[in-house]
Chain A
């Protein structure tokens, strides 16, 4: 699962410290972990999952700067504050304190990571029978409306199936789905010319 973790803090010691601490953990974050001092220097990629570790003020700042992207992004906010006595911001998912141990910090970040669709993470991404039928018709060049008519379901349901197929397979384009269908013998290329399909 693609989750980007961004540490945003004016204090270089806190930002650098958190980054080191998380990098050396078993979370396997690799290059999905970055730190910033200024929210204006950040891009929010559409369709990505984000964890922001930052202060309430900087989070608000970031939010205001990227309103449009926030609408499409899936994100969690981990508040990073100096003392336990300070009250937690309501919008934060977790709060990291200055006197937390390494394990406490890692656990909080792990909880946050797991909160992104925990059941989907482990699901085996094989297609259902109905999805396979829809995939077959998509590969043969049918539009959603035609598929709906052939399978006697609503266009809306077809679109939902298509969305799930793309999510499960990691393939979005029609010709990509056709390649998948041929590779998995969902469509029979003996009867059809590949040239017509892709």
Chain B
């Protein structure tokens, strides 16, 4: 488990998959011998939150639920939003680019275009899901937090939300399973004369994206949703 007094550079040497997390918190490379704690101070980051995110991302079996539940909702939502931005800006176009390169490496293989169709379908669903959360779920959560800070319970019927957080968050598993399907189709069933290295690059990206999505869903399902439910119960006791 990493801790605040460790050097950030050592942590990255140990697990370079954590690089995108640094970016999400606004930390850029060139941090010299700064410890995690010092780097967080420089960038005005909540260090306790940052180190827990690093540790859970590093180890898929580690998830200190109680400690996460102590962090304020705006902090959690902000992280989730940044994660979405990263998917839009990096993973989604990158996978498409690598897929196109794979297809270009095997001009005679029409069968590969099936992958593109499948990916586009996945992409569309993912877009819809992310967009929905950005447009509706996150604003709802932040608004609820504001109401909570004003004190409750809420009696004005105009302020009652139309639906609960449970109804906002229903669609994760479809997106996750399509990504897994894509990997399995390539690994187990695709026999085509493509460039091996290009295929490996694509698969590596798919694996990384899958890990990232899993971590992301976990924070939404096990931290954000229970926290919001708790507030809903306090604000709207009926």
Partner of A176, one of B65, B182, B222: B182
Residues of A near B190 (CB, < 8 A) are 183
B5-13, B99-107, B109-117: which lies at the interface? B109-117
A198 touches B121 (CB 8 A): yes
Q: Which of B196-238 contact A (CB under 8 A)?
A: 218, 222
B70 at the interface (CB under 8 A from A): no
A98-106, A141-149, A167-175: which lies at the interface? A167-175
Q: Is the interface of A mostly helix, strand, loop or mixed?
A: mixed
Indicate the size class of the contact surface on chain B.
20 to 34
B62 at the interface (CB under 8 A from A): yes
**Count of residues in A whose CB is under 8 Å from the partner chain:** 24
B160 at the interface (CB under 8 A from A): no
Write the nearest CB–CB distance from A15 to chain B, whole angstroms: 13
- Looking at A179, A182, A194, which has the most chain B CB atoms within 10 Å of its CB? A179
A75 at the interface (CB under 8 A from B): no
Write the nearest CB–CB distance from B99 to chain A, whole angstroms: 13
A179 touches B118 (CB 8 A): yes
A43 touches B118 (CB 8 A): no
Residues of B near A85 (CB, < 8 A) are none
Given A175-B118, A182-B114, A194-B117, A170:B66 Cβ within 8 A: no
Q: A176-B118, A179-B115 are in contact. List 6 more A-B contacts (CB 8 A).
A: A34-B59, A43-B60, A43-B65, A194-B114, A198-B117, A198-B121
Which A residues lie at the B interface, using CB under 8 A?
4, 6, 34, 36, 40-43, 45, 169-173, 175-176, 179-180, 182-184, 194-195, 198
Which B residues lie at the A interface, using CB under 8 A?
59-66, 111, 113-115, 117-118, 121, 174, 177-178, 180-182, 184-185, 188-191, 218, 222
